[in-house]
Amino acid sequence: MLETADLDARLSKKDAKEALDRLDLELSQLQRDLQPDGCPVLVVFEGWDAAGKGSVLNRLLQPLDPRGYKVHNIKEPTLEERMYPALCRFWLTAPARGTIAIYNHSWYRQVLNERVEGDVNGAGLHQAYERIRTFERQLQDDGAVVVKFFFHISKKEQAKRFKRIAKDPAFAWKVGKAERKRHKKYSDYEQAVEDMLRETSTSYAPWTIVPATDENFAEVMVAETLHAALKAALAGGESGTAQPVIAAPRRTSPLDRVDLAVKIERKEYDKALPRLQSELRRLQHLCYFARTPVIIVYEGTDASGKGGNIRRLTRGLDPRGYEVVPVGAPQGEERRRHYLWRFWSALPKAGHFTIFDRSWYGRVLVERVEGFAKPHEWERAYREINEFEQQLVEFGAVLVKFYLHISKDEQLNRFKERETLPHKRWKLTDEDWRNRERWEDYWDPVSDMIERTSTPHAPWIIIEANDKRYARIKALRTVVDWLSASLPDTD
């Protein structure tokens, strides 16, 4: 999830001031509306040392009545606190109805530190995360709103801030031995944080990753997210029922940074294609002997070239060792089952390939946009999908996920081509034109999908697909590289 955060995201002072001036008034009113017997609100601030949590928190609280909130600065548990269950102190500080508790660090801090230091792992770590999930769910079931922020900066940015802070005697104490030790172990903490986000981002308490390189951007993003959470809570139903999904305004998307102008010359394409296809066939046989299952997922907009890409990928493969599974709307018995049931039944056996032309991501794309899944159903699907994919990888599967991205103009060109060419006309339907009219409706769901299901064990590979030849070569090369890295010996 961290890899999807745009650390270069910025907002001008003017734009930030305009947004915050409006949000200040609305947050102040929302706080009053919560009193006296509204839902309790827990706001968690986690993130890297020197990521700016204190500054953003200070700005967030300015419009709020201090009589209605309390800030808890969480440190490592004392000897006395260690005599009680780990989450006892947080139950004791949980806010009353109509009030807000803000946690500068939280129940996550101890787990992260113990994970990196090797004090907890394996079953102990799993139990810790399960306790946290239970804690947050029990609060939410009772009507609480849990809003969690993780402030993300790069190791280089953190070092720069440490240096600046150390120059001022008034603030130099903030960068001590513990902070410098964590900085040296940035990579270890990064992996621990990634696991933490994946394990504990739930439908009832999702994480919001805040790109914190620019303070203006961070301040507005946090204020907007809290505003959306409070507004949704006040409009929500009874305790114990599914709460409305918190949807803060989107300011950046992983798709914003895709260069759709990239292309490959025909001569280079003709040279690379057969070489990669031949190598992939060799790797297919190595996978068979190593009993390594391979799962390749294709998602993308209509006319993005998934079919042609799959044909080039499979052209050199032994047909006895792979299957292409086209995925449409669930039918018959599938509609009576959990939405993942039909994908479990289509998985490859060890040593074989399965290529999904669309996949389980329909739950958070078409089913979300078209209203076939209720908000609480597609919201919880992000975590269910992450768990599903983690089980596949833990079994030993190689899982590659492609999202083919094209521009709206390029899609129109391809639609018109399909209209004029008899051998392609069958590909174009009224449904394609209808989906095109909803292009903007899919932007946020696609962005959410990429951000919330791109994990270390199953990251999304966005393919720049305006040039079909470039997209085919990139996909082939990616699969070849992944298999080469995954197999014990590919020489």
96 neighbors 38 (Cβ within 8 angstroms): no
DSSP state of 406: -
Q: Which two tokens stand for residue 402?
A: 């492609």
At residue 299, the 3 state secondary structure works out as: strand
Helix (H/G/I), strand (E/B), else coil: 369: helix
Q: Examine residue 488 and say whether the peptide bond preceding it is cis (omega within 30 degrees of 0).
A: no
Q: How many CA atoms lie within 13 A of 45 on its CB side?
A: 26
Sole residue written with tokens 């260690």:
82
- Residue identified by tokens 């769910």 is 137
Q: What angle do CA 29, 252, 216 make, to 5 degrees?
A: 55
The Cα 118–Cα 122 span in angstroms is 10
Sign of the Cα pseudo-torsion (152, 157, 159, 164, in order): negative
DSSP conformation class of 342: H
Looking at residue 82, its pLDDT comes to: 84
End-to-end CA distance of the chain, in Å? 33
Strand 100-104 vs strand 353-357: parallel, antiparallel, or unpaired? Answer: unpaired
298, with CB counted inside 10 A (0-12, 13-18, 19+), is buried
> Among residues 360, 359, 363, 391, which one has the least CA distance to residue 379?
363
| CB 224, CB 23: distance < 8 Å | yes
* Total residue count of the chain as it appears in this document: 491
**Residue 200, phi-psi category: left (phi > 0), alpha (psi -120 to 50), beta (remainder):** alpha
Q: How far apart are CA 132 and CA 108, in angstroms?
A: 8
Model confidence over 443-454: pLDDT tens digits? 999 999 999 999
> Tell me, what's the pLDDT at 245?
60
Residue the block writes with tokens 């500080």: 93
Ranges of residues in the chain with a pLDDT under 70 are: 237-247, 489-491
Q: Which two tokens stand for residue 326?
A: 């086209």
Inter-residue contact 349 to 293 (CB < 8 Å): yes
pLDDT in the model for residue 434: 77
pLDDT tens by residue, 43-64: 999 999 999 999 999 999 999 9
* Domain 2-252 listed as CATH 3.30.420.40: no
- Give the pLDDT of residue 37: 76
CA-CA distance, 3 to 16, in Å (whole number)? Answer: 25
Domain spans, the chain = 2-252, 256-486
- Which CATH code of 3.40.50.300, 1.10.3660.10, 3.40.50.970, 2.60.120.10 fits the domain covering 256-486? 3.40.50.300
Q: What pLDDT was estimated at residue 244?
A: 57
Q: Within its chain, how far is the Cα of 51 from the centroid?
A: 20
256-486 matches 2-252 in CATH topology: yes
At CA 327, angle to CA 324 and CA 331, rounded to 5? 130
Instruction: Look up tokens 């696991």; give the residue.
Output: 195
